[in-house]
Amino acid sequence: GAVSANDNALWEKSTLNQILQRGELRVGLDVGYMPFEMKNKNGDIIGFDVDIAKAMAKAMGVKLTIVNTAWDGIIPALLTDKFDIIMGGMTITAERNLQVNFADPYLVIGQSLVVRKDLEGKVKTYKDLNSGDFKVTAKLGTTGQLAAERYLNKAEIRLFETESDAALEVVNGNADAFVYDLPFNAIYVQQNKGSVFHLGEPFTYEPLGFAIRKGDPDFMNFINNFMRQIKGDGTYDRFYEKWFES
Ligand code: ARG
């Protein structure tokens, strides 16, 4: 009858059906966001999101293709079918959720700060940086930019295309602090101990979720059940320990 014909049409259009027909899962992400996606010395794209993407493609029985995309254009790229899903540590925000659908959160993080070493002891919370005396950097189009504009609006805010350029400004002493997701900052500070310190108390609440195009209940159902399975069977914990606790 009418109901099953409708269900069929939905499934025909589903991204999941197209992935299976194509034999390929295309994942959009933005390389440089440690430890979720970055390049190793051989130039391979590795990280937490990449391991989950590989496991997802395997569960679908298809090959994985990674589509590296600049962050400020990543939602338009999803909407114009450059790939099937964003797996890039994207914070679920109401504004983004008007354009895309998010699977259930796979991790919760917050913004923290990479701060110039000279300011250690003087700057104790993000509030201390909210003054015209300070220059703050962030990556374009991120929730770091939003947090800077919201909580550090008295400081001079400078935006950069990549997280490495934005953070390097602080290392070089051209800026006082860089606002970004805590996991990235924790690693970055470890790698640049001599010149920066971590103001590591997160000051925002940010659930991260995979994003897909709207109107696709079949694909959403697969993603959420796949994630529930790997969270329950130890796979997710193995990935988490590999990328966040070493
Ligand atoms: N969680 C932040 C946001 O959603 C930053 C994510 C950046 N991800 C990336 N792959 N570069 O804006």
Helix H or strand E segment including 245: none
Quote the ligand 1 centre to 90 CA distance (angstroms). 5
Which residue, among 160, 188, 166, 187, has the nearest Cα to 178 in the 3D structure? 166
Q: What are the pocket residues of ligand 1 if the criterion is a CB atom closer than 6 Å to any ligand atom?
A: 29-30, 33, 36-37, 71, 88-91, 142-143, 181
pLDDT at 64 over 80: yes
pLDDT at 2: 59
Residues 79 and 17: their CA atoms lie apart, in Å, by 17
Place of tokens 């015209």: 132
Q: What is the pLDDT of residues 93-142, one digit of tens each?
A: 999 999 999 999 999 999 999 999 999 999 999 999 999 999 999 999 99
CA distances from 52 to 3, 55, 197, 210, 229 (A): 35, 5, 30, 11, 12
Residues 116 and 51: their CA atoms lie apart, in Å, by 33
Quote the ligand 1 centre to 215 CA distance (angstroms). 24
Indicate the pTM of the whole model.
Answer: 0.96
Query: What are φ and ψ of residue 152, in 5° steps?
Result: -125, 35
Q: What is the pLDDT of residues 175-223, one digit of tens each?
A: 999 999 999 999 999 999 999 999 999 999 999 999 999 999 999 999 9
